[in-house]
Amino acid sequence: MAYKRENRTKAAAKTRSKARTVAGLIFLFIAVFVVAVVIFVKGRPDKDTTPPQIHGAVDLSIEQGSRVSYRSGVSVTDDKDESPTLSVDASRVNLYTPGVYDVIYTAKDSSGNESSVTVKLTVTEAVEQPPEAGSAESNNQLESEFFDSSFMAEPVILSVDYINELSDKILAEIIKPDMSKRSKASAIYDYVYGHVKYIGTSDKTNWLIGAYVGFMTGKGDCYNYYACSKALLTRAGIPNVDLERAGGTTDHYWNLVDVGEGYHHFDACPHPSGYPIKSFLITEAQAREYTERCKSVRKNYYVYDYEACPVKVEGTPTEQSADPATDTSGTANPSDLPATDPSTASPANPPENPTPSDPGAEQGDPTNPDTGDPAGEEDPGSYDPGTFNPYDPSTWD
């Protein structure tokens, strides 16, 4: 009996020892797990839920027809992201119609947090200022004396009315009364492309001189193509806006037009050899695609100051990938080029628009721009909306 009691005692002791061992192991596991969780939680960065802050976005007020820099004085900061993005939605704004418009600033950080601020842009009615003493400007018309001995016997006083008269004579020959705006624009494109021969230089004092020289001599560079197009489009009652290349290594000028389908690019100037395109009513997406195609021979071909442009071009992305004034690819700050008022451009009252530009700016070789090959070898022909492809010369006839 004593032997059996001793065995039971030993068995009980062994069971208690095993239980203590198991309990110790469980406790150790729990302790290690808790320590691991604490280390993981402390070592893990906090989730970023704080949106970036927009600073300096305030209500604005400008005079009708003036330019506005929406990003001036506006900045963005974030507690985590050193480079949050800022986009500006000014699509509701019409700089040529007095009123109060919403401008929306949206900031976004790398974690996807967003914040937005809406400000009011007030466009006030323009107050006409009397011309200064000795000024050539009167009744919103630019006047300038021009003389070029290479084709003129005496100076002429150029004015909007003078250029209108020349434009009307040309339009009477190329435009028919029953033409649509699209057909009129096509006829103007073909006339300017065929009439002006590219020589790589021009007087860029103002667009009146550019149009006059282009009409009278049939020679010039992109500035003359742009100016002749501007004069004819305006007299034909087609709203148009002036554009100038931003950045790049050379200047370039062209037009935006609206034939009732929104604004599209219109550029009658010959393009670099090897990169054919008929820039007649091409979209913003097509213009950017062409810019990418020919960047090896002409940088920033159709890059312009997107923010300063008073109209939205069809095919424009919702958010610009880069502001041309701050593009890290090397784009320089563009010159500010006033735009033709699309709401008031009519045959009876075309707005004047002198273009601030350096008359001596580089324009390319005196043949075909960028290449030195003879210009005008590919006749763009007339526009057929059913088959037209801006990149395929076989569809241009």
Average pLDDT over residues 356-367: 35
Decide if pLDDT at 298 tops 80. yes
- Residue 222 has what pLDDT? 95
- Residue 346 has what pLDDT? 33
Nearest to 355 by CA among 247, 162, 208: 208
- Residue 292 has what pLDDT? 94
Decide if pLDDT at 132 tops 70. no
- Residue 154 has what pLDDT? 85
pLDDT in tens, 246-279: 988 889 999 999 999 999 999 999 998 889 999 9
Q: How far is CA 232 from CA 141, 205, 211, in A?
A: 17, 19, 9
230 touches 222 (CB < 8 A): no
pTM for the model stands at 0.54
**In the structure, what pLDDT confidence band is assigned to residue 232 with cuts at 50, 70 and 90?**
very high
- The two tokens of residue 240 are 């148009």
Domains and CATH numbers, the chain: 53-124 (2.60.40.10), 143-395 (no CATH)
Decide if pLDDT at 382 tops 70. no
Average pLDDT over residues 89-103: 88
CA atoms within 13 Å, Cβ hemisphere of 305: 23
- Residue 358 has what pLDDT? 34
300 vs 395, more confident? 300
Average pLDDT over residues 385-394: 63
Average pLDDT over residues 134-153: 62
146 touches 83 (CB < 8 A): no
- Residue 137 has what pLDDT? 43
334 touches 122 (CB < 8 A): no
Average pLDDT over residues 86-94: 87
